[in-house]
């Protein structure tokens, strides 16, 4: 009986490890594809003899701290005033609606074409707001910026001429981060996103694979949106969904690696998890919706295979949870079985897969930093922390994957709180604003702490029993990740419950989760 249980445990562990290894090998492939195609310069586009009209859409929902900033930044864009329309698509239910409307009136008085559209319901959430804005937009092209973005003045001029190619339906720019070095948490988030944009987006786009519009920091051809079926809200990632539908209709997306759109990163862990949960669940929903038709299409297999890995990447999170639960008992306990941990073949196989999986993430992110011109050697000590945070959010994201695969509706679109952080604001200015946000997910945070305690118990047993000692470094990283994410989530939720009315900037500031880790200067 014990042997059979151990065999089941080992099979489950090996399955999870094999999945993680396959997706780890895919990361190596992304790096290889980047070096093969990514360094090619895009062909300089032809120039419009007469610039087309652009509508800039700014979707807002209860954004009291950033609505003025993004509206004013949109009005500063370097583009002919008679060719630029700005739509503020505001679904707000709090006092931020009055703030946004006041700023719009001020900008109109200054000569800008600014349209304020307020909906009394959130039907379709962001996708619904964008679709509603199309009814009155004047532009042939639609630029979209989320509330936390501060677009560069020349962004439109750098991107618009790529649409002289009639097959281009969308142009996506690379995200940059105004608070990149605010803390270890924001620095790790920046590294995660740098890998996605610098390696994945560049490799896929230059290598002839499908990529996704990232929901903001880009421009769409209006006819491409319409031809692809418009904005739809049956997934939480309406941007990825539209991207794939458009590319299936043979529209091309151009990724401009050297054109950046700055934005703020979530400064505390709960907002980061909320963002990751929405992206992960939405990707699973999009996979269910898009993959069957895509795999049956006449697209080249290299495109189909890459789309499969792209849309199903969330499967790594349930696999990571299984790995964390089973890594110690699989190696420590066992009976007289072919799959006993005393088997050299099993040990060699497991450790080989584990090594491939572990170093794939390190290679992926280090290459991205190197290509961005960062001092990647100084970032090497962060690799264990990147692994820890990735493991720490795995439980919440595993639940997101399950919800995305089996839920019949898209679910509520929980927007990521924005604090209005400036590039020079590393610690003090924004902290009091945290109490105005309400965070969810206390149960998951408690489970994350319990997972951390379980892994600590496994470490103690490994030392006491003198078995599976090689697991200790990984158990330590896993436990650190769950404790880090779990305790900071609970702290952030406790802090948000203390808030009443939003404090003023000059009011008393309370410590946030990021104060527990030092700022990166």
In the three-class reduction of DSSP (H, G, I as helix; E, B as strand; rest coil), residue 310 is classed as helix
Angstrom distances, CA of residue 220 to CA of 30, 66, 244, 404: 26, 24, 13, 27
Look at strands 168-177 and 218-221 and give their pairing. antiparallel
Catalytic residue among 90, 91, 148, 194: 91
Count CA atoms closer than 13 A to 264's CA, side-chain side: 23
Angstrom distances, CA of residue 103 to CA of 64, 66, 240, 433, 503: 12, 11, 31, 21, 21
- Measured between alpha carbons, how far is 213 from 232 in angstroms, rounded to an integer? 14
Cβ 386 vs Cβ 188: under 8 Å: yes
Look at strands 218-221 and 141-144 and give their pairing. antiparallel
H/E element holding 328?
helix 316-332
CA neighbor of 402 nearest in space, from 243, 288, 310, 232: 288
**Structure token digits, residue 445:** 């945070």
Burial class of residue 456 in the structure, from the number of CB atoms within 10 Å of its CB (0-12 exposed, 13-18 middle, 19+ buried): middle
Please tell me the chain's helix, strand, coil percentages from 3-state DSSP, rounded to the nearest 5.
60, 10, 35
DSSP structure class, residue 81: G
Which residues touch 305 (CB under 8 Å, ≥6 apart)?
none
Q: What are the two backbone dihedrals, phi and then psi, of residue 9, each rounded to the nearest 5 degrees?
A: -65, -45
**Known active-site residue 258:** no
Catalytic residue among 146, 148, 194, 239: 239
Strand order of the sheet with strand 54-60?
114-118, 84-90, 54-60, 141-144, 218-221, 168-177, 252-263
Q: Where are the alpha helices (DSSP H) in 76-183?
A: 96-109, 125-133, 155-159
**Known active-site residue 239:** yes
Cβ 245 vs Cβ 290: under 8 Å: yes
Beta bridge partners of 262: 176
Return the number of other C-beta atoms located less than 10 Å from residue 166's C-beta: 10
- Measured between alpha carbons, how far is 435 from 497 in angstroms, rounded to an integer? 7
Burial class of residue 30 in the structure, from the number of CB atoms within 10 Å of its CB (0-12 exposed, 13-18 middle, 19+ buried): buried
Cβ 147 vs Cβ 67: under 8 Å: yes
Burial per residue of 400-434, b for 16 or more beta-carbon CB atoms within 10 angstroms, e otherwise: bbebbbeeeebbebbbbbbbbbeeebbeebbbbbb
Q: Find where tokens 């803390």 sit.
A: 183
- What amino acid positions are annotated as catalytic residues? 91, 239
């Amino acid at each position: 009986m014990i042997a059979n249980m151990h065999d089941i445990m080992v099979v489950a562990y090996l399955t999870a490890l094999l999945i993680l290894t396959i997706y780890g090998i895919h990361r190596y492939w992304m790096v290889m594809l980047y070096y093969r195609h990514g360094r090619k310069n895009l062909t300089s586009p032809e120039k419009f003899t007469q610039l087309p009209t652009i509508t800039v859409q700014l979707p807002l929902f209860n954004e009291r701290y950033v609505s003025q900033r993004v509206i004013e930044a949109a009005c500063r864009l370097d583009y002919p005033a008679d060719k630029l329309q700005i739509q503020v698509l505001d679904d707000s239910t709090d006092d931020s609606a009055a703030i946004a409307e006041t700023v719009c009136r001020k900008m109109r008085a200054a000569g800008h074409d600014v349209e304020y559209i307020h909906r009394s319901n959130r039907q379709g959430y962001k996708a619904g707001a964008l679709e509603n804005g199309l009814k009155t937009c004047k532009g042939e092209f639609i630029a979209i910026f989320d509330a936390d973005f501060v677009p560069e003045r020349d962004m439109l001029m750098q991107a618009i001429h790529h649409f002289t190619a009639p097959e281009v339906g969308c142009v996506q720019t690379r995200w940059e981060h105004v608070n990149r070095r605010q803390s270890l948490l924001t620095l790790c988030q920046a590294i995660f996103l740098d890998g996605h944009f610098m390696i994945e987006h560049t490799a896929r786009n230059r290598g002839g694979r499908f990529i996704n519009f990232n929901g903001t920091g880009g421009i769409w051809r209006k006819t491409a949106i319409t031809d692809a079926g418009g904005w739809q809200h049956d997934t939480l990632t309406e941007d990825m969904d539209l991207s794939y539908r458009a590319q299936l209709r043979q529209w091309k997306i151009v990724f401009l690696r050297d054109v950046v759109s700055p934005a703020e990163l979530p400064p505390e862990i709960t907002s980061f998890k909320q963002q990751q949960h929405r992206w992960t669940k939405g990707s699973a929903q999009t996979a269910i919706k898009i993959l069957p038709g895509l795999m049956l299409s006449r697209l080249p297999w290299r495109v189909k295979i890459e789309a499969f890995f792209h849309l199903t990447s969330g499967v790594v999170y349930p696999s990571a949870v299984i790995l964390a639960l089973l890594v110690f008992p699989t190696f420590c306990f066992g009976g007289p079985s072919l799959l006993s941990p005393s088997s050299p073949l099993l040990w060699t196989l497991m450790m080989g897969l584990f090594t491939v999986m572990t170093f794939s993430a390190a290679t992926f992110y280090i290459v991205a930093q190197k290509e961005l011109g960062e001092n990647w050697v100084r970032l090497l000590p962060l690799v264990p922390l990147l692994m820890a945070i990735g493991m720490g959010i795995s439980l919440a994201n595993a639940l997101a994957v399950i919800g995305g695969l089996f839920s019949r509706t898209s679910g509520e679109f929980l927007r990521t709180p924005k604090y209005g952080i400036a590039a020079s604001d590393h610690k003090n200015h924004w902290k009091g604003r945290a109490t105005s946000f309400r965070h969810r997910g206390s149960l998951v945070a408690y489970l994350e702490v319990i997972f951390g305690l379980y892994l600590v118990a496994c470490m103690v047993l490994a030392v006491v029993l003198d078995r599976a000692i090689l697991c200790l470094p990984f158990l330590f990283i896993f436990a650190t990740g769950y404790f880090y994410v779990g305790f900071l989530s609970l702290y952030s939720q406790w802090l948000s419950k203390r808030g009443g009315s939003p404090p003023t900037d000059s009011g008393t500031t309370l410590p946030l989760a990021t104060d527990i880790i030092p700022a990166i200067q």
